């Protein structure tokens, strides 16, 4: 159970759009937690563009290929009844004039078609969607997924990456893909708390409103990190106030942080005041989670 001393807390770091500083927050949170002697694991679920490893240079211990289930149809057994195509919600299998065709790239691996086939003409096959890697980055492990080039469906890989998170750490920090579609939903789902990163600009507010709607639909508690807090206007703060969303921390627009990012460095490792900022953010999240 989360929220209890010694229990595991899964914190998703999310944003309505890319480029808000989500990965900076996720990596710095993990480094701050480890520096405080907490057991922590960082899980990079941004499988289309994973980049936490660029800042942490983990020593990779394990690489595994991830597959999703797809139907294999035995034409000799198939009677052309069409029940499989009727069952499929994703148009991944079709039956035309008694001939069955499959579209593996659309298949979600739900198993519906082989369960309904009255003559057991469908067996379970496999399609590669990407890899999961685990490595050591200083005092903690980094787990990250990488979607196969050309692969359109990332949620099955994201769920697999998230499932790799250790049960035996106090903190799991999840770097979620940006946006509000299926990939971020897969990454954020079943977290204990969502840390929403935004900027105080009209674009930042627009995407924050959408992302807050997504997290509310999932029924998860959340708070907001305002990055580059000294640019833009006050509309994000007013929105958070009106919606009862706690502002967890405000991070200034500091050229030194941008330079550290460009060099592939963790801001909290090279700028001590930012280590304190992220320690304070972790403490604030801990209070929110245990409320
Ligand atoms: S496994 Fe599910 S998604 Fe895939 S073809 Fe069968 S019914 Fe459709
Ligand atoms: S349900 Fe089975 S028998 Fe019917 S069309 Fe599909 S594969 Fe063929």
Same domain, 198 and 245: yes
Which residue, chain included where needed, has tokens 């890989």? 157
pLDDT, position 151: 87
Considering its fold, how many domains does the chain have in total? 2
Ligand 1 contact via 87 beta carbon (within 6 Å): yes
Task: Give the mean model confidence (pLDDT) for residues 214-224.
Answer: 96
pLDDT for residue 1 is more than 70: no
| Count of C-beta atoms within a 10 Å radius of residue 106 | 14
What pLDDT, on the 0 to 100 scale, is given for residue 153? 86
Same domain, 262 and 174: yes
Residue-wise pLDDT tens digits, 67-98: 999 999 999 999 999 999 999 999 999 999 99
Above 80 in pLDDT, residue 291? no
Residue 205: give the domain boundaries: 9-39+169-289
Q: Flag whether pLDDT at 237 surpasses 80.
A: yes
Residue located nearest, by CA, to atom 4 of ligand 1 = 107
Residue 156 lies in a domain: no
Please report, rounded to a whole number, the percentage of residues in the chain having pLDDT higher than 90: 86
**53 belongs to a structural domain:** no
**Whether the predicted model's global pTM rises above the 0.85 cut:** yes
DSSP letter at 177? P
What sign for the dihedral angle of Cα 72, 75, 78, 82? Answer: positive
Q: Which atom of ligand 2 is nearest to the CA of 85?
A: 6
* In a shared domain, residues 104 and 248: no
Q: How far is the CA of 101 from the centre of ligand 2 (A)?
A: 10
Determine contact, residues 174/12, Cβ cutoff 8 Å. Answer: yes
66 forms beta bridges with 130
Q: Which residues contact 6 (CB under 8 A, 6 or more apart)?
A: 170
The reply to whether 179 and 262 lie within a common domain is yes
Kindly state whether residues 184 and 239 are assigned to the same domain. Answer: yes
Ligand 1 centroid from CA 80, angstroms: 16
> For residue 133, what pLDDT is reported?
97
Res 4: pLDDT? 55
Q: Is 100 in the pocket of ligand 1 (CB under 6 A)?
A: no
CA of 102 to the centre of ligand 2 (A): 11
Ligand 1 binding pocket includes 156 (Cβ within 6 Å): no
Residue 211 domain flag: yes
**Ligand minimally distant from the alpha carbon of residue 80:** 2
Q: Are residues 27 and 73 in the same domain?
A: no
Domain assignment of residue 199, yes or no: yes
Mean pLDDT of 50-62: 94
In angstroms, the CA 193 to CA 171 distance is 11
Ligand number with the minimum distance to the CA of 89: 1
Which CATH number fits the domain that encloses residue 99? 3.30.70.20
CATH label of the domain that carries residue 215:
3.40.50.300
Q: Of 56-60, 212-216, 270-274, 280-284, give the lowest mean pLDDT range.
A: 270-274
Angular region, 184: left φ>0, alpha ψ -120 to 50, beta rest: alpha
User: Above 70 in pLDDT, residue 125?
Assistant: yes
Percent of the chain with pLDDT over 70: 98
Across residues 23-39, what is the average pLDDT?
95
Average pLDDT, the chain: 93
* Any atom of ligand 1 within 6 Å of the Cβ of 71: yes
pLDDT at 81: 97
Does residue 27 lie within any of the structural domains?
yes
User: Whose CA is closest to atom 6 on ligand 2?
Assistant: 84
66 alpha carbon – ligand 2 mean position (Å):
27
- Nearest bound ligand to CA 102? 1
Please report the pLDDT score of residue 5 as a whole number.
53
Of 4-8, 136-140, 241-245, 268-272, least confident by mean pLDDT is 4-8
Q: Which residues line ligand 2 (CB under 6 A)?
A: 73, 78-84, 95, 100, 117, 119, 121-122
Q: Which atom of ligand 1 is nearest to the CA of 84?
A: 7
Instruction: Determine whether 119 is exposed, middle or buried from the number of CB atoms within 10 Å of its CB (0-12, 13-18, 19+).
Output: exposed
Which whole number is the average pLDDT over 115-143?
96
């Amino acid at each position: 159970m989360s929220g209890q001393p010694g229990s595991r807390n899964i914190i998703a770091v999310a944003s309505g759009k890319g480029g808000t500083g989500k990965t900076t927050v996720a990596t710095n949170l993990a480094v701050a937690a480890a520096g405080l002697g907490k057991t922590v694991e960082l899980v990079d679920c941004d499988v289309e563009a994973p980049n936490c490893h660029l800042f942490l240079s983990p020593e990779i211990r394990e690489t595994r290929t991830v597959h999703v289930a797809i139907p294999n149809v035995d034409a000799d057994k198939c009677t052309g009844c069409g029940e499989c195509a009727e069952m499929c919600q994703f148009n991944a299998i079709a039956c035309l004039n008694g001939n069955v065709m499959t579209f593996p790239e659309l298949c979600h691996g739900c198993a519906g078609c082989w369960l309904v086939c009255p003559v057991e003409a469908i067996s379970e096959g496999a399609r590669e969607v990407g890899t999961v890697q685990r490595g050591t980055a200083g005092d903690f492990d980094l787990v990250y997924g990488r979607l196969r080039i050309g692969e359109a469906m990332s949620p099955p890989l994201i769920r697999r990456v998230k499932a790799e998170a250790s049960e035996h750490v106090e903190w799991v920090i999840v770097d979620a893909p940006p946006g509000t579609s299926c990939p971020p939903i897969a990454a954020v789902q079943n977290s204990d708390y969502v840390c929403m990163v935004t900027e105080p600009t009209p674009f930042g507010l627009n995407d924050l409103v959408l992302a807050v709607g997504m997290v509310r639909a999932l029924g998860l508690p959340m708070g907001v990190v305002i990055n580059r807090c000294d640019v833009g206007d006050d509309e994000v703060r007013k929105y958070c106030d009106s919606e009862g969303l706690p502002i967890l921390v405000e991070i200034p627009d500091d050229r030194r942080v941008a330079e550290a990012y460009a060099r592939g460095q963790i801001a909290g490792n090279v700028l001590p005041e930012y280590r304190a900022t992220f320690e304070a953010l972790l403490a604030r999240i801990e209070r929110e989670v245990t409320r």
